[in-house]
Copies of this chain bind each other. A is one copy, B any other.
Amino acid sequence: MAEAIRTLDDVARAAGVSRATASRALNGGRNVSPRAMAAVMRVVQEHGYQPNPAARSLVTRHIGAIAVIVPEADELVFSDPFFPQAYHGALTAFKDSDYQVTLVMAEPQDSGRIVRYLESGLVDGAIVVSHHGQELASALAKASRPLTFVGSPGIVDAPFVELDQVSAARTATEYLIGKGARRIAHIAGPLDMNAGAGRQAGFEAAMDDAGLAPVGIEPGGFTIRGGQAAAERLLDAEPDLDAIFVASDLMAAGAVRTLGKRGRRIPADVMVVGFDNSPVAVQTLPALTSMTNPPAVMAEAAAKMLLSLLSGDGPEWPVIIQSELVVRGSA
């Protein structure tokens, strides 16, 4: 414990080599003799030396950190299970890559803060997880950092991974038809969101293929309340409907509530299929049959794209993830 070892120079001196050699020893050790390597490593271990990241990144132009950016109000981020799972997925992709992963949230309208963060040089790149498609995407894309998106960024030309919404909706609808439903309605999400439009399109396509006409399509705004109200409108217009394909579990939970209130038994009178396979799906009575929307899987894919972007490759994109049907009590 003679003198403190703080800089690479100190390490080099203590190990009896030049700073250049010490640096090489620390970074992969190409062209370093075993002898020198050992000496450097010993000193490093012994004194717990850590290279100064600022100095390092000044020359390498690379900082060793990426961010998961969630352009949503932080309250929402924590209440919607989609985001944590996405974060977790990204984490696993970067687990053994010695990149640090941090989570950054900001109101979607405050894209300035996010762009500033990207430009600040505190991260090498980011994966953006949002339900708000292109509003932000175009702003973010201006930042000169590699970005990948979970969920299509709309018209912006950037790598993304997306669920195959259309074919998922198709699967759900065909399942209902297969179970004997004929008077089928749909509760839709906002059509300016890919998840909303795609699911409705898939529903309509499947119905069309089966030679059936939807008995109703009502928007539900992706909320419980909206689902509840939509179901009421549907029942008013078509008391005899025998199935509803709902574009999210949250809305489905609302619909279930309405159906119960109106005296319909599920699934005997009306079958319900939700979407997202989220925790609420098991809290309703009966539990919801639902399509998966695996955030962890998608985020992991996006993270891998980012990783290859960072290492200079051009990854193939978009990556399309297939959704699966999970059967529970409601259909």
Q: Does B100 contact A53, Cβ atoms closer than 8 Å?
A: no
The residues in A between 14 and 69 inclusive whose CB is less than 8 angstroms from any CB of B are 50, 52-55, 57-58, 63-65, 67
How far, in whole Å, are A84 and B67 apart by their CA atoms in the complex?
18
Q: Does A75 contact B88, Cβ atoms closer than 8 Å?
A: yes
Distance in angstroms from A118 CB to nearest chain B CB is 10
Distance in angstroms from A186 CB to nearest chain B CB is 30
Asked whether A74 is an interface residue with its Cβ less than 8 Å from the other chain, the reply is yes
How far, in whole Å, are A91 and B120 apart by their CA atoms in the complex?
18
How far, in whole Å, are A74 and B89 apart by their CA atoms in the complex?
11
Asked whether A81 is an interface residue with its Cβ less than 8 Å from the other chain, the reply is yes
How far, in whole Å, are A119 and B78 apart by their CA atoms in the complex?
28
Distance in angstroms from A71 CB to nearest chain B CB is 15
1/0 per residue, CB under 8 A from B, across A155-178: the answer is 000000000000000000000000
In the complex formed, the residue of B with least CB distance to A65 is: B122
The total of chain A residues at the interface (CB under 8 A) is 32
How far, in whole Å, are A64 and B122 apart by their CA atoms in the complex?
9
The residues in A between 86 and 112 inclusive whose CB is less than 8 angstroms from any CB of B are 87-88, 91, 100, 102-105
Q: Does A84 contact B75, Cβ atoms closer than 8 Å?
A: yes
Contacts of A83 in B (CB 8 A): 78
Distance in angstroms from A300 CB to nearest chain B CB is 14
Asked whether A77 is an interface residue with its Cβ less than 8 Å from the other chain, the reply is yes
Distance in angstroms from A50 CB to nearest chain B CB is 5
Known: A54-B57, A88-B74. A63 touches B122 (CB 8 A): yes
Q: Does A91 contact B74, Cβ atoms closer than 8 Å?
A: yes
How far, in whole Å, are A298 and B61 apart by their CA atoms in the complex?
38
A interface list, Cβ under 8 A from B: 50, 52-55, 57-58, 63-65, 67, 74-75, 77-79, 81, 83-84, 87-88, 91, 100, 102-105, 117, 119-122
Q: Given contact pairs A74-B87, A78-B83, enumerate 15 new A-B contacts (beta carbons under 8 Å).
A: A52-B58, A53-B122, A54-B55, A54-B58, A55-B58, A63-B122, A64-B122, A65-B122, A74-B84, A74-B91, A77-B84, A78-B81, A79-B84, A100-B120, A122-B122
